[in-house]
Structure 1
Amino acid sequence: MDWKKLFPEGKGCHLTDEAFTQELEHVEHKQQGKEAEKDKQKASRAAKRSEKASIEAEWCKLQEKHVEDVAKWVAVCKELAAKNVLKKNWPKKPVRPLKPKHAPGPTEIPVASGSAVTLGDMAQDDETESEDSGEEFES
C-alpha cells in the first residue's frame, strides 16, 4: 500500500471509508494500466529489434553481391584493356545498392481531439461522403 494514501498530510484516515477504498482501487487500476503499457512497449521494441536485424542481414548480402559484381566488372575491364577496346565501349561500373528500409506501417495523423486517424480511415470516409452527397442532390 502507498503510505501517502494511508496517511494523507500526515494524518490518519478511516480505512473503511468509501472514498478511500475507491481511491485505492483507482491507484491499483492505474498501476495495472502502466504495467500493460510497459509490456506493450517491450513487445514493440522487440519487434523493431528483430526487424532491424533482418534488414541488417539483407544489407550485408547486398554489399557482398555488390563487391562480387565490382570484382567481375574489374576483370572484364582488364580483359577489354588487353584487347585494346576503347574505354567508351566498356561496361559501366555496377551501381551501389541502396540500403533497405523498414516496412512502413499504417500512417497515423494526429487529430486535435487526441485520437489518431489512419490514412485508410480517411479514404473510407471520402468514399462514404461521395456516396452520401449524391443522394442529397437527387431530390
Structure 2
Amino acid sequence: VNVFDTCSKTRHVQAILKGNTSMFNPGIMLVDLRKWRSGAITRGLERWQRKTSGCGDMIPLNLAFQGAFDALDWRWNVHPLGAQFMYVPASCLSSAKILHWAGPFKCWRQYSDWERLASLHPKVCELYEAHKPRHTCSIAP
C-alpha cells in the first residue's frame, strides 16, 4: 500500500490537496536555519506529525509549510530514480546535480530487480558507477 494513497484519505491531507497549495518533495531540502529557529516551525511540524502519524515526512512537512517555500531548480532533485517503470530522459540525467533514489530498484541493491528495469534508463547505472561510494583503506607503515 502506498503511504501517500493511505494518508491522502485523512481530512488534513484532503484539505491541502483540494487547495491550490504547492507541494514539495523533502528528499532534497535546503533549510534557512535562522528562519527555522526564529519561528514556530518545529512545534508546527511536531503537531502535524502527531495528526498524520504513519504518513512519513512528506505530508507533515507540506502541511507545516503550506506553500511557504521556494522551489529549487529541478536539477537539484532529479527523482524518482529507482521507482518501478519510470524513465528519465538522458538529457535530464546529464544536467542533474543530485540524483534522488526514492524507489526500491537501486543499482547497489543486489536483489532489487535492477537488471530487469535498467533497460528503461541505462544511463542511470552508468552515472551511479562513476560516482558510487568506494571503500578504501590505507595501511600505516
More helix by share: 1
Larger-Rg structure: 1
Q: TM-score, normalised by structure 1?
A: 0.18
Q: TM-score, normalised by structure 2?
A: 0.17
